Amino acid sequence: MKQLIALIAEHYAGSLSPTFFELMTFANKLKDASQPRPIILMLGEEIAEAANQASRSTGCDVVAVAIPGLAFYNSETYKAVLLAVLEELKPSHVCAIHTSNGSDLAPSLSVGLGAACITSVEEVRIESGRVKFLRSVLGGKAQAVFTSMTDVTVVTIQPGCFERADVCAYSGDVKFIHVEYSSNRMKNIEVRPGPGCDSLLSEAKVIISAGRGVRQKENLDTLFELAGMFSRSAVGCTRPLSDSGQLSSRRQVGLSGAIVSPDLYIACGISGAQQHIVGMQASGFVVGINTDSKAPIFNHSDVCVVADVDEFARELIKAIAKYRKNPLI
């Protein structure tokens, strides 16, 4: 079995997805110096620009399949075409980013290739010649270590866990190939932009973010009151709060929400799942408030407050009000 790493590149409107460069870093950690450079696979309708960008910025060879009508991801077409290409290339690893597309594609490719499928990987280590893939489990309280028992392994990596690779000084080759496939059961007719990030959230210097530990509507009101005590502030939330309609999805911070970088981020009743951390890890100073002293959010907090969030928020509001009246206290 050839030790060849194949990377599936996501692209949009003629540009490579920025997370692709995280995938590149992962591939460089995975391969040892004796192995050839990874090969990049790309599918789509108009992919020349993104394919050239990939070869120029990574120094890797790109195999591109231009498919009329494939403006957006389609799992059936991607699976059929990629399996045909991968059966020719015979890579040892097939890697994608754990986006909605990557996580949709990986299991079907692994079934087609008879490969192990290890998803949402956050770290990779080579120990005694064995590749070990690590990812958070139990809401971030523990780390699971996986190793593959098959010749081919399909891996997805969690966005935000690997640095972005530097741009390479030399260029690889781009090869356009034609692939015969039959795929007609599903057609993507439109991709609608999501609500996007609340402009308040992206511009806020202070974000008070609410998680499931906030529990009741009245407690949310307390957090809005707390946010109101700072200028340029906003209330953010975790995905369960936006999924349940308690707060607008425009306030959601994380992998499928906004990426924020305020000076101060107060995480209120938030466990600290990796998908949330990805969105707030660039914050300047983080205060975590949680009743569970082992909550993973504390691994990312500058100040860890083990307390009931509502009680603590009320005390904080009182303390700030008192300080504002007499800043010398």
Ligand X SMILES: Cc1cc2nc3c(=O)[nH]c(=O)nc-3n(C[C@H](O)[C@H](O)[C@H](O)COP(=O)(O)OP(=O)(O)OC[C@H]3O[C@@H](n4cnc5c(N)ncnc54)[C@H](O)[C@@H]3O)c2cc1C
Distance between CA 140 and CA 299 in Å, rounded?
10
Asked if 209 is part of the footprint of ligand X (rule: CB under 6 A), the reply reads: no
The residue from 160, 211, 262, 288 that contacts ligand X (CB under 6 A) is: 211
Asked if 291 is part of the footprint of ligand X (rule: CB under 6 A), the reply reads: yes
Residues in 212-241 that interact with ligand X by CB under 6 A: 212-213, 238-240
Asked if 281 is part of the footprint of ligand X (rule: CB under 6 A), the reply reads: no
Distance between CA 292 and CA 314 in Å, rounded?
19
Q: Which is nearer to ligand X, 8 or 60 (CB)?
A: 8
Q: How far is the CB of 270 from ligand X (least distance, A)?
A: 4
From 11-19, 145-153, 179-187, 272-280, give the range in contact with ligand X by CB under 6 A.
272-280
Asked if 92 is part of the footprint of ligand X (rule: CB under 6 A), the reply reads: no
Residues in 137-166 that interact with ligand X by CB under 6 A: 139
Asked if 269 is part of the footprint of ligand X (rule: CB under 6 A), the reply reads: yes
Size of the site for ligand X (CB under 6 A): 27
Q: How far is the CB of 260 from ligand X (least distance, A)?
A: 11
Spell out a b/e string for 275-305, using b for 16 or more CB atoms within 10 Å of the CB, else e.
Answer: bbbbbbbebeebbbbbeeeebbbbebbeebb
Q: Which is nearer to ligand X, 153 or 209 (CB)?
A: 209
The residue from 275, 288, 301, 316 that contacts ligand X (CB under 6 A) is: 275
Give the nearest residue (CB) to ligand X. 254
Give contact residues for ligand X (rule: CB under 6 A). 139, 211-213, 238-240, 252-257, 269-271, 273, 275-276, 279, 289-292, 295, 308-309
